[in-house]
């Protein structure tokens, strides 16, 4: 398909408003080339030797340089070498011009960082086409840099939004203490955690992990988090108005998972994503914890006396099947008991040999921190994982929420 007569000049004008430097010690060659390029719409500056070329480059910026190799004193090769010490081929394209066609000159120039070359006597259509190409490439790279900068700024803003949804402060209940850790492997995470109180009696805590990574996973994570956040008008997935309208009742974990499964079907999510969830409600008066595991690793229970154990209650991830069923599990906790919820990034992190951290190491690390505070036990767990990994650049997002019972249940 050919361009219409009206389209091609517009395209050429868009390309040919660049700034060029023509360097040649031959006045006739220099003037002829500069005039013909000027008539094509370029702003052309000339230099008669290598030193003047270096001075011009230091004083102003150019889109492309056409640089003669054979010049007295400072030749084109030396100018090229000095320019490349400070400016890359991507930032300042240089086309070498020489009367020689020997391959060694071309190879040397390309090794020194030349972008292209032309041979004398110059064929202007060839020179013009190669200048056009370098201008287009330079502008494309500049547009990519600008797009990358915009994307980076957008990612930073999105990451701040995600961080703003993390627990600002852990709710204070006399009978329980909580702690959490959250480390994203990229700018945006698919994990989310929260701890919050409801009606001065219940403590809600959860960890969710969206399949995949990047923007789609982060958007789904944020959306689910917002729906699990208590709103000013008291409406939320986690609580509802009582049947008689006199107050609020807490929504059971299985009901929360069921409603989320209706709200976020994988096949209509746009990115074909689902998420796993461990969601629990602690009644701080009875110390009874009700929880649901939707495709998520079961929490670790560390009794005040005894060895840690995984309390698993498997069910399908949220969004995977429309008719998925979710059942609650219950735990009666006593003073000194601790419960740890975590994302699978913790146990699936591998060392340099590709061996995962695994559940056994998780249990051993938790058991070894029994005498430490809850906060210190989480920090020790993170440091154990860093030591296993060899660095803190984790392959997956990492989330942990923990609770410790301090007082016996009320009579």
- Domain at 299, CATH number: 3.60.40.10
Q: Are 383 and 315 in a shared domain? A: yes
Is 157 a member of any domain? no
Confidence of residue 198 (pLDDT cuts 50, 70, 90): confident
Task: Tell me the average pLDDT across 108-135.
Answer: 93
What pLDDT is recorded for position 98? Answer: 82
Instruction: Clarify whether residues 104 and 180 are in a common domain.
Output: no
| 176 and 86 share one domain | no
Domain with 27 in it? 7-144
Say yes or no: 222 and 121 in one domain.
no
Residues 274, 305: one domain?
yes
So what's the pLDDT on residue 4? Answer: 44
Whether 154 shows a pLDDT value over 90: the answer reads no
Query: What average pLDDT does this structure show over 176-186?
Result: 91
User: Cα–Cα distance between 143 and 78 in angstroms, integer?
Assistant: 30
My answer on whether 223 and 140 are in the same domain is no
State the pTM of this model.
0.72
pLDDT at 6 over 60: no
Residue 36: C-alpha distances to residues 33, 39, 53 (Å): 5, 5, 20
In the chain, what percentage of residues exceed pLDDT 90? Answer: 63
375 domain residue, yes or no = yes
Q: Position of tokens 């056409």?
A: 66
CATH number of the domain at 56, please.
3.40.50.2300
Could you tell me if 233 and 314 lie in one domain?
Answer: yes
Q: Where are the alpha helices (DSSP H) in 165-252?
A: 214-227
* pLDDT at site 307: 92
Number of domains the chain is built from: 2
pLDDT for the residue numbered 214: 81
The rounded distance, in Å, linking the Cα atoms of 401 and 141 is 44
**Does 101 lie in the same domain as 179?**
no
Q: How many CA atoms lie within 13 A of 92 on its CB side?
A: 23
Residue 176 CB partners (closer than 8 Å, separation 6+): 203, 282, 284, 403, 404, 405, 406, 407
pLDDT number for residue 231: 67
Q: Look at the block and give the residue holding tokens 């969830």.
A: 277
Position 377 confidence tier, pLDDT thresholds 50, 70, 90: very high
Q: Is residue 411 part of a domain?
A: no
Is 232 contained in some domain?
Answer: yes
Q: What is the mean pLDDT of residues 77-99?
A: 94
């Amino acid at each position: 398909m050919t361009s219409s007569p009206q389209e091609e000049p517009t395209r050429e004008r868009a390309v040919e408003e660049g700034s060029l430097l023509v360097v040649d010690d031959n006045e006739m060659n220099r003037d002829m080339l500069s005039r013909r390029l000027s008539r094509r719409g370029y702003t052309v500056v000339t230099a008669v030797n290598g030193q003047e070329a270096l001075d011009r480059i230091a004083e102003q910026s150019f889109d492309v340089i056409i640089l003669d190799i054979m010049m007295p004193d400072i030749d084109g090769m030396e100018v090229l070498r000095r320019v490349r010490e400070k400016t890359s081929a991507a930032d300042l394209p240089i086309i070498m011009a020489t009367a020689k066609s020997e391959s060694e000159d071309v190879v040397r120039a390309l090794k020194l960082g030349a972008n292209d070359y032309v041979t004398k006597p110059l064929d202007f259509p060839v020179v013009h086409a190669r200048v056009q190409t370098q201008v287009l490439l330079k502008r494309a790279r500049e547009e990519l840099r600008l797009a990358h900068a915009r994307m980076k700024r957008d990612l930073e803003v999105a990451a701040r939004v995600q961080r703003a949804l993390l627990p600002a402060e852990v709710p204070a209940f006399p009978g329980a203490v909580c702690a959490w850790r959250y480390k994203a492997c990229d700018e945006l995470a698919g994990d989310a955690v929260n701890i919050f109180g409801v009606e001065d009696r219940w403590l809600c805590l959860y960890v969710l992990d969206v399949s995949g990574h990047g923007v789609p996973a982060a958007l789904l994570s944020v959306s689910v988090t917002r729906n699990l956040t208590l709103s000013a008008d008291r409406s939320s997935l986690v609580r509802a108005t009582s049947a008689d309208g006199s107050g609020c009742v807490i929504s059971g974990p299985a009901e929360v998972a069921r409603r989320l499964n209706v709200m976020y079907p994988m096949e209509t999510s746009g990115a074909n994503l689902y998420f796993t969830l461990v969601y629990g409600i602690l009644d701080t008066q009875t110390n009874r914890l009700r929880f649901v595991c939707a495709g998520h690793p079961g929490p670790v229970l560390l009794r005040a006396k005894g060895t840690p154990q995984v309390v698993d209650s498997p069910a399908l991830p949220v969004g995977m099947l429309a008719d998925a069923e979710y059942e609650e599990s219950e735990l009666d906790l006593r003073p000194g008991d601790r419960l740890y919820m975590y994302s699978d990034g913790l146990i699936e992190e591998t060392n340099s040999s590709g061996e995962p951290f695994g559940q056994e190491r998780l249990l051993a690390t938790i058991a070894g921190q029994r005498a430490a505070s809850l906060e210190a036990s989480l920090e020790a767990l993170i440091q154990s994982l860093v030591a296993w990994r060899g660095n803190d650049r984790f392959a997956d997002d990492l989330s942990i929420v923990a609770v410790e019972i301090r007082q016996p249940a009320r009579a």
